[in-house]
Amino acid sequence: MKLFSKMSLGALVPVLAVVLLLSGCVNQVQQPKTIETIKIGVIAPMSGDAAAYGEQIQRIVDFYTPKVNEVAAKSGKAYQFVIEDGKCAGSEAVTAYQKLVTIDGVKFVIGGFCSSETLAMAPLTKDGSALLTSYGSSNPAIEGASPYTFTFSYSDEVVGKTLAREMSKYERLAIITEQNDYNVGIQKVFLDELKANYPKVTVVANEVFPKGATDMRSTLEKVKKMAPAAVLLNPNAGTGITLVKQMAELKDWTAYTLFGQYVYVGETALAAAPELTNGMTVVDAPSINNPELTAMMDEITKTKGVITDVGTYYTASLMDDMKVVTSLINEFGNDPAAVQKALKERTFSGFISNNIDFRNSSFPGVAGGIYKVIDGKAVYQQ
């Protein structure tokens, strides 16, 4: 008390004021938030026939991750995308999924690209331990496969029906299909639609070759003997290149009108047999004319490498998938049940649509588009 006896109350007040002011400043300094890092799995065909797609998918993920994390930082989160090889095959995708969930501890998996990957993984999600959102799988069987499985792709049902309508102008048709979930899905819808709505059309050849086959010459010879007016090429990624190469080697295919699906939107497949594929009609996703998306795709090409095989739609669907899933995790936390509930109750705006809607379907409600191959490129018609 001797100290205070030597100081007047008037002298003590300014000292106390300074101390309190400094104390307030210290309390007002915001401590940096602790950032929670969340791992999300990505299944892509990093090897095998469709490896070119996997490489391009990785480029898109690498490019878009910083943009996702820039938004996530506001919620105290950061995302690490762990890519595993699904090889465009069911058994390999299941192995990759189990590794992601059990070893890496992820609760969200973006994938697969191929329908065979997604259909094999879907049953594993039924217990709600992880949420699966595909950016490329389109087989109609995905619908209702699991409450915790969704796809940002258009449906093969749309593609198959559009192909049937376009090819119904010809009376004698042939279809060449790879034994693969995606391709068999297209085949079934196509044939069912012809039977139901175009009775005057005859399918003179309905040939199926084994998954990943390297020699389709005997199949092609069978089709040629039936002299169809138009032929639907229905292989998977990678194998589609081999198919048109061998058609070109056998020659005399230019007399037939050719149709195809997404494989022949990619410039790599078209370049494998440019004279043969020129003029082909391709049914795939609708074209997306979004300046922001175009600018980002140009930047990816400049900084990471080409993404022409993945193309506009799947670039858009992959980025939409990453954006929607992470935005919901930012809001609800690393909780598959809460994010699944939000997906089923809301609509979302993205590059593929301003109304991405999973409220009544596992698909987002996107229609198909028609392309014509002109000078080595699939040009959008409608």
Which is higher by pLDDT, 13 or 369? 369
pLDDT of residue 256: 85
Q: Is the pLDDT of residue 66 over 50?
A: yes
Query: pLDDT grade, residue 12 (50/70/90)?
Result: very low
Q: What is the pLDDT of residue 4?
A: 37
Calculate the average pLDDT of the chain.
91
Query: What band does 29 get if pLDDT is binned at 50, 70 and 90?
Result: very low
Residue 43's beta-bridge partner residues? Answer: 84
In the predicted structure, residue 30 carries a pLDDT above the cut 70: no
Per-residue model confidence (pLDDT) at position 285: 80
pLDDT in tens, 248-304: 998 877 668 999 999 999 888 999 999 999 999 999 887 788 999 999 999 999 999
Number of helices (H), then strands (E), belonging to the chain: the values are: 14, 14
Which carries the bigger pLDDT value, residue 243 or residue 254? 243
Grade residue 22 by pLDDT with cuts at 50, 70 and 90: very low
What is the tens place of the pLDDT at every residue in 88-117? 999 999 999 999 999 999 999 999 999 999
User: Does pLDDT of 120 surpass 80?
Assistant: yes
Is cis: bond before 112, omega within 30 of 0?
Answer: yes
Question: Is it true that 36-154+289-366 and 157-284 share their CATH fold?
Answer: yes
Find how far residue 345's CA is from the centre of its chain. Answer: 22
pLDDT score of 202 more than 50: yes
Reduced DSSP (H G I as helix, E B as strand, rest coil) percent helix, strand, coil of the chain, to 5:
50, 20, 35
Q: How confident is the model at residue 5 (pLDDT cuts 50, 70, 90)?
A: very low
Residue 318 has pLDDT above 60, yes or no: yes
Spatial neighbors of 201 by CB under 8 A, at least 6 apart, are: 167, 168, 170, 171, 172, 173, 194
> Is the pLDDT confidence value at 19 over 50?
no
Please check the confidence at residue 142 and state whether its pLDDT lies above 90.
yes
Domain spans of the chain? Answer: 36-154+289-366, 157-284
Q: What is the DSSP letter of 103?
A: I
Torsion of CA 107, 293, 60, 334, to 10 degrees: -10
- Residue-level pLDDT at 267: 87
At 215-241, the pLDDT tens digits run 999 999 999 999 999 999 999 988 999
On whether the 36-154+289-366 domain is CATH 3.30.450.20, my answer is: no
Mean pLDDT of 193-212: 96
Options 3.40.50.2300, 2.115.10.20, 3.40.50.300, 1.10.1270.20; CATH for 157-284 is 3.40.50.2300
Mean pLDDT of 136-163: 94
